[in-house]
Structure 1
Amino acid sequence: MAASRVFSAGVEGHRYVSTATDTKADTPSSGICRRGLLAGLGAGAALATVSSPAAAFIRPPHAMRQLAFENLHTGEQLVAPYLTRGRLDPEGLSQLDYILRDWRTEEVIRIDRRLYVLLDDLRRRLGSDAPYQIISGYRSPKTNAMLRASTSGVAKRSYHTRGMAIDIVVPNRTTAEVRDAALSLRRGGVGYYPESGFVHVDVGPVRRW
Structure 2
Amino acid sequence: MPAFGRRGLLRSALAAGAALVGAAAGGGEALALATGGEPRSLTIHRLQTNESFDGVYWRDGRYDREALRRLDWVLRDPARDEATPMDPRLFDVLHTVARQMEASEGFEVISGYRSPETNEARARESRRVSRASLHMSGMAADVRLIGRDSFGMARLAAGMQVGGVGLYRRDGFVHLDCGPARRW
Q: TM bucket by the smaller chain?
A: 0.7 to 0.9
The one of 60, 64, 68 equivalent to 1:85 is 60
| In 1: Cα distance, 2:28 partner to 2:81 partner | 25
Q: Report the alpha carbon displacement of residue 55 of structure 1 after superposing the two structures with TM.
A: 3.9
> Cα–Cα, structure 1 residues 56 and 205, in superposed 2: closer, same or farther, change >3 Å?
closer
The normalised TM-score by structure 2 is 0.80
Q: C-alpha deviations, 1:31-55, integer Å up to 9, x for none?
A: xxxxxxxxxxxxxxxxxxxxx9544
The one of 31, 56, 65 equivalent to 1:57 is 31
The one of 123, 136, 147 equivalent to 1:161 is 136
| In 1: Cα distance, 2:173 partner to 2:93 partner | 17
The equivalent residue for 1:200 is 175
Q: Which amino acid in 2 is paired with 1:96?
A: L
| In 1: Cα distance, 2:28 partner to 2:75 partner | 18
Q: Which amino acid in 2 is paired with 1:203?
A: C
Q: Report the alpha carbon displacement of residue 182 of structure 1 after superposing the two structures with TM.
A: 0.7
| In 2: Cα distance, 1:109 partner to 1:151 partner | 24
| In 2: Cα distance, 1:166 partner to 1:69 partner | 11
The equivalent residue for 1:102 is 77
Q: Which amino acid in 2 is paired with 1:73?
A: Q
Q: In the alignment, is residue 135 of structure 1 matched against residue 110 of structure 2?
A: yes
Comparing both structures, which one devotes a greater share of its residues to helix? 2
User: Per chain length, whose mean CA-contact separation is higher, i.e. which structure has more relative contact order (CA < 8 Å, sep 6+)?
Assistant: 2
The equivalent residue for 1:172 is 147
Q: In the alignment, is residue 188 of structure 1 matched against residue 159 of structure 2?
A: no
| In 1: Cα distance, 2:47 partner to 2:145 partner | 12
Equivalent residues in 2 for 1:35-46, closer than 5 Å:
none
| In 2: Cα distance, 1:74 partner to 1:92 partner | 18
SS at match of 2:157: helix
Across the aligned residues of Structure 1 and Structure 2, the Cα RMSD in angstroms comes to: 1.5
| In 2: Cα distance, 1:146 partner to 1:136 partner | 14
In structure 1, the gaps of 5 or more residues are 1-51
SS at match of 1:92: helix
Q: In the alignment, is residue 151 of structure 1 matched against residue 126 of structure 2?
A: yes
SS at match of 2:91: helix
Q: Report the alpha carbon displacement of residue 56 of structure 1 after superposing the two structures with TM.
A: 4.7
> Cα–Cα, structure 1 residues 69 and 54, in superposed 2: closer, same or farther, change >3 Å?
farther
The normalised TM-score by structure 1 is 0.71
Q: C-alpha deviations, 1:170-193, integer Å up to 9, x for none?
A: 111111111111112111111011
- How much identity, in percent, do the aligned residues show? 36
Q: How many residues align?
A: 157
SS at match of 1:80: strand
Q: Report the alpha carbon displacement of residue 86 of structure 1 after superposing the two structures with TM.
A: 2.0
